[in-house]
Structure 1
Amino acid sequence: MSNSILTIHGATVLYKAQQAFENLSFNWKTGENWAVIGDSGWELTTFIETLRGNTVISRGEVHRPFAQAYVQEKTEAGEVHSFRDLIAYVSQKYEFKNRSHIQNFYFQQRFNSSESEETATVREYLLEVTPKVVGPWTLENVAKLLRLEALLDKSILKLSNGETRRLAIALGLMHQPHIYLMDQPMTGLDVRSREEFGTIIQEISKSGVQVLLTTSGNEIPDGITHVAKISKSGLAGRWTKEDYHQSGGKETNIPAWDWDLLQSLLPQDRELLKAPIVLRNVRIKYGDKVILKDVNWEVKAGEKWLLKGKNGSGKSTLISLLIGENPQAYSQNFWLFGRKRGTGESIWDVKRPTGFVAPELSRYFPANQTCRKVILSGLFDTMGLFKKVSPEQEELANQWIRLFNLEPLQHTVIQRLSLEHQRWTLLARALIKQPQLLILDEASQGMDEFQRRLFKETVQRVCEGCSISLIYVSHYEEDVPDAVGKVLELRS
């Protein structure tokens, strides 16, 4: 093991007071770049947190030879140090911070140009990094590699989900790491960006940085040399990338909830109202930059649409109009459920018929909002529960909690839930009020492969079980339910 950079031997691992692995062993050698797969997104995240030193090892041991010389040098110099100084990490829970380094934005701020003054630009954010070691990564070559050059003077509050992901990866490189850990780094990237990701891995590797990432079994990027599969009992398999592609098989089991319970929670024999969405030459711009140009779109009652486009093409901006969060709505020609925007309707009139799920929503709930409270808040269209609910409403929440197997977690605050449990919580919040229009913006982002299939099937059953209209946003064709029959593609 003389050429090992990190080893785990016979480890029992606990994370957030739960046992994750019973007998975990792993050997990462010089020159290897790893993709780690598994059946549980929580276990994949826990594996990375173990490498970072953020779990409890009750039995076994972890060694980090990659940091040995650095630790010895700093110890002899009497300087404060940690092996973490040599690690870059990209989490799925990347968060914006304002200039005071307080992450306290509310959802509407993403679409209000006056708020951008409170956030750094991409350039400022990257230059804030103060690495502990010298390395090859400069603002210029990081921006070129991650296609951020045109975004350097843009407020980070204005970035799309995919642009935010690229910024997070760039931020890690500015720390001049020796090893780079990434938790589902391709989440939220469009097709082009996912295809380019292998090149990014290869360029990072050429600089001497070794990479380990978690991903799904059918999405192993170029630049990866080895694949490992983990389970509760430890390492379930390891392959070279070539051997994995030759021998790896896909699961064929069909996931399921209690579909009869779901059907009972959906509206029955509801009268279809007027077209939920009509846009006429909608044009949105921030300063001199046009985000949406002359968009014409009509969604008739009961239709199911896929909204697609590259990162930065304006999908999130368009959705912000539909959910009443964009202040430029009042200057546009568009109608929601037969009513023109800006004709005296309140924000609650706009929100009431629409259920909305996006991965970033979980960031904007107050710290005391539990899974149960978040679900109940959907009845009032508020970012949190702030009023007393009736026994009937409590029972309705109970049924959604039972449907999505959230009973053990119902009193856990949403920020402490795993990403997959956050997604089910937000879906229940959107559906509990029986909306006429459901907007799902990358709503299964962060889920593992099994959970994504279950999410797709759940949305399909919702579409089959009632006369709901659907706007579905995804960069993954395999995630789109069969019920979706129409496509609007935005071009940047």
Structure 2
Amino acid sequence: MTAQGYELAVDVRGLRKRYGGLTAVDGIDLGIRRGEVFGLLGPNGAGKSTTVEILQGNRDRDAGEVTVLGSDPATGTRAWRSRVGIVWQDESAPAELTVRETVRHFARYYPRPRDPEEVIGLVGLETTADSRIKALSGGQRRRLDVALGVIGGPELLLLDEPTTGFDPAARRRFWSLIRALADEGTTIVLTTHYLEEAEALVHRLAVVAKGRIVAEGEPGALRERYGTEATVAWTEPDGSPRALRTGTPTRAVADLMGRFGGEIPGLTVTRPTLEDVYLRLTGQSQEDER
């Protein structure tokens, strides 16, 4: 699937940004469809957060063309900004207010906000709604950041490492929220270091390294295109384990079936994961180190 033929929520061409002698973003092109959940993956310093900041209008670019919801973020009006929600890596809520006071306060900034009580429930903070923010755990504060990102009912939601500090149950609840927002038509751009999270949520993704996109597509297509060989493992009649790395695992299994005359003891076929592909594309896999 490609972005062609769809109305784009985000259209980026030749985006560049430097900080002194450091090139953070080096010619990125992106086309993100309306209603799509799009992942930006890459190691620290790859340029993901800078790209998100430019999309939100919080940082100037040095070169390139950027259109977000039909406008250039660099000249976005207050009305345009109300259509874009964002969850930064850093906390932004005032420590002395309660969760409920904070969500209600932020709701007043938007022309058509979601119901504050509904949003508090969506992020799982019902039992701490009257607690002061300074008394919350790190994971609870992160959930509040997510609540503030969605309270305005944004058409585009930018999520920069949103589930850092979440426990597994909270992360799964957040995934349900993202799926529900996507079903409502919200366009979502997600940066994350959790490859399982990306695979569970995104329709398409781009892998960024050293300010450039090194691969883009659906997770399954990327595994197919960039994945290393599959591993076929089995147990020999004498009980010894065996394994074969091959680009044709189906043929290998067929050969084993012929040799064993049917069932193959201890058979497993392990195909490359998205994490394997990510590590290979960003030059961090053990294969690339050998």
Q: 1:224 pairs with 202, 206, 210, which one?
A: 202
Question: Does the alignment pair 1:240 with 2:218?
Answer: yes
Q: 2:16 pairs with 1, 5, 12, which one?
A: 12
CA contact (8 A) 2:9 2:156 kept: no
Match for 2:81: what amino acid? R
TM-score, structure 2 as length reference: 0.68
Question: Does the alignment pair 1:185 with 2:139?
Answer: no
Residues 16, 188 of structure 1: CA spacing in aligned structure 2 closer, same or farther, 3 A cutoff?
farther
Q: 1:199 pairs with 158, 176, 183, which one?
A: 176
The residue number in structure 2 matching 1:374 is none
Task: After superposition, give the CA deviation of every residue in 1:235-272 in whole Å (9 maximum; x if it has no partner).
Answer: 2111113323555659xxxxxxxxxxxxxxxxxxxxxx
For 1:125 and 1:49, the matched residues in 2 are separated by 23
After TM superposition, the structure 1 = structure 2 runs for residues 285-300 of structure 1, keeping only pairs within 5 Å, are none
CA contact (8 A) 2:85 2:150 kept: yes
Residues 233, 162 of structure 1: CA spacing in aligned structure 2 closer, same or farther, 3 A cutoff?
closer
Question: Does the alignment pair 1:173 with 2:170?
Answer: no
Residues 196, 14 of structure 1: CA spacing in aligned structure 2 closer, same or farther, 3 A cutoff?
same
Question: Does the alignment pair 1:215 with 2:192?
Answer: yes
CA contact (8 A) 2:199 2:219 kept: no
For 1:17 and 1:161, the matched residues in 2 are separated by 35
CA contact (8 A) 1:4 1:30 kept: yes
CA contact (8 A) 1:180 1:211 kept: yes
Task: After superposition, give the CA deviation of every residue in 1:399-431 in whole Å (9 maximum; x if it has no partner).
Answer: xxxxxxxxxxxxxxxxxxxxxxxxxxxxxxxxx
Question: Does the alignment pair 1:88 with 2:85?
Answer: yes
CA positional deviation for 1:187? 0.7
CA contact (8 A) 1:3 1:30 kept: yes
CA contact (8 A) 2:34 2:185 kept: no
Question: Does the alignment pair 1:161 with 2:138?
Answer: yes
Q: Percent identity?
A: 25
The SS at the match of 2:62 is: strand
Residues 243, 168 of structure 1: CA spacing in aligned structure 2 closer, same or farther, 3 A cutoff?
same
Question: Does the alignment pair 1:45 with 2:42?
Answer: no
For 2:103 and 2:174, the matched residues in 1 are separated by 20
After TM superposition, the structure 1 = structure 2 runs for residues 19-98 of structure 1, keeping only pairs within 5 Å, are 19-41=23-45, 43-66=47-70, 81=78, 83-98=80-95
CA contact (8 A) 1:7 1:26 kept: yes
Match for 1:212: what amino acid? V
CA contact (8 A) 2:92 2:145 kept: no
CA positional deviation for 1:151? 0.9
Match for 1:20: what amino acid? A
Match for 1:240: what amino acid? E
For 1:160 and 1:214, the matched residues in 2 are separated by 23
CA positional deviation for 1:160? 0.5
Task: After superposition, give the CA deviation of every residue in 1:193-228 in whole Å (9 maximum; x if it has no partner).
Answer: 223332111112123221111112623153321111
The residue number in structure 2 matching 1:420 is none
Question: Does the alignment pair 1:132 with 2:82?
Answer: no
Residues 226, 236 of structure 1: CA spacing in aligned structure 2 closer, same or farther, 3 A cutoff?
same
CA positional deviation for 1:19? 2.3
The SS at the match of 1:133 is: coil
TM-score, structure 1 as length reference: 0.42
CA contact (8 A) 2:23 2:211 kept: no
State how many pairs are aligned.
Answer: 224
CA contact (8 A) 2:36 2:182 kept: no
Task: After superposition, give the CA deviation of every residue in 1:157-191 in whole Å (9 maximum; x if it has no partner).
Answer: 11111111111101111122111111111110111
Residues 90, 3 of structure 1: CA spacing in aligned structure 2 closer, same or farther, 3 A cutoff?
same
The residue number in structure 1 matching 2:118 is 141
CA contact (8 A) 1:131 1:176 kept: no
Match for 2:112: what amino acid? V
The residue number in structure 1 matching 2:259 is none
Task: After superposition, give the CA deviation of every residue in 1:324-376 in whole Å (9 maximum; x if it has no partner).
Answer: xxxxxxxxxxxxxxxxxxxxxxxxxxxxxxxxxxxxxxxxxxxxxxxxxxxxx
CA contact (8 A) 1:197 1:222 kept: no
The SS at the match of 1:181 is: strand
Residues 217, 228 of structure 1: CA spacing in aligned structure 2 closer, same or farther, 3 A cutoff?
farther
CA positional deviation for 1:64? 2.0
After TM superposition, the structure 1 = structure 2 runs for residues 330-369 of structure 1, keeping only pairs within 5 Å, are none
For 1:140 and 1:234, the matched residues in 2 are separated by 41
For 1:141 and 1:246, the matched residues in 2 are separated by 40
The SS at the match of 1:8 is: strand
CA positional deviation for 1:37? 0.4
The higher relative CO (CA closer than 8 Å, separation ≥ 6) is in: 2
CA contact (8 A) 2:156 2:186 kept: yes
Residues 97, 221 of structure 1: CA spacing in aligned structure 2 closer, same or farther, 3 A cutoff?
farther
Match for 1:19: what amino acid? T
The residue number in structure 1 matching 2:250 is none
After TM superposition, the structure 1 = structure 2 runs for residues 327-476 of structure 1, keeping only pairs within 5 Å, are none
CA contact (8 A) 1:11 1:21 kept: yes
After TM superposition, the structure 1 = structure 2 runs for residues 249-264 of structure 1, keeping only pairs within 5 Å, are none
